[in-house]
Every structure is written in C-alpha cells, then in structure tokens.
Structure 1
Amino acid sequence: DIAFQLRSQFPERMLFVAGTATNGKPSLTVMLSDDLVAEGLHAGKMVREAAKLIQGGGGGQPHFATAGGKNADGLHAAVEAIVQKVTRS
C-alpha cells in the first residue's frame, strides 16, 4: 500500500490522505507519522469525523484509518477537513 511506503520513506511530519470514488462509492484513507500521533493526532478519530461528510463511517488506529460512504460529492470536503485538522495542530 502506498500509504505505508510513504510512511517508511518520510518518518516525520507525514500526513497521507486519499479520497477516491469507485462506482460512486467514496472512500478515505489516512496515514500519520509517529511524531504526529505523539502530538495527539489520531487517524481513526479524524477519519470517523470526516466520514460524516460522505454519509459514511470508518475508523482505525492512531496512525492508519479508512472510511467508506455513500456520497462521493462530499469527498473534497472530507479530505479538506482532515488536512485542516493536521495543519491547525
């Protein structure tokens, strides 16, 4: 998975967010480096909140999480919400 490859290549200050839609079904993937997790960020909590914007749900670990939903129109807003959460911390 590309997220895990990036995490090993960039071990500090790394956020990976992907929003995709396949056959109209949106999905989100979030990966955080260990230093961001140590600062209190939690990929599972972030993706769970952002999934509301795609009418879905999700979760995961502090460093890696995924979500799926029903509304691909909300993907841009969901990705932006995750990016904003990290850049504000």
Structure 2
Amino acid sequence: MLNALLLPLMFSMAGGTYVYLQLPDRRAQGLLILTLFQLIGAVGYVMEPTVNLFTLLSIHASVVLVLLVRHLQAPAAAAQTGEGNQ
C-alpha cells in the first residue's frame, strides 16, 4: 500500500504547497484537495497498516495542518480589496 500511496501523497504535498504560495485565489480548493488526499491515505492505512505508511501520513497531515492554520489566520480577501468601503 505504501508503494501505491507514496507518489500521490508526495505530489499532493508539493502541489498543495505550490498552490498555497503561488495562487492565493485557489487556496481553499487546494486545501480541500489536500484533505481529500489525506482521507485516501487513511483508507489505505486501514487496509494495510504499516509504520512507513503511518509516517508518511503523519508528515502529510502536518503539512496540511500548517497550511490550513496559516490560511485561517490570513485576513479575508474581501477586506484587502476594499469592497464596500467608500
């Protein structure tokens, strides 16, 4: 199961970090996709629990958590554009 999930989870971490840093208007969709990849990895862990897969899922979860917390702490996009302020 580790062989089946290693590349998708690594790609999702790299792609999610790229989307978070370079495409701020698509952060919410990127975080949702990262969360879905985490759920797929959790299903794989339930099917075949190994220490290596658990380690990979822990690293992936920490990346998702850090990006999600940073996203939630960022000011709202509407407040930055000045809509409604006249």
Q: Same fold (TM over 0.5)?
A: no
Which structure shows the higher helix fraction?
2
**Higher RCO (C-alpha 8 Å, min separation 6):** 2
TM-score by length of 2: 0.30
Which structure shows the higher strand fraction?
1
Radius of gyration: which is bigger? 2
TM-score by length of 1: 0.30
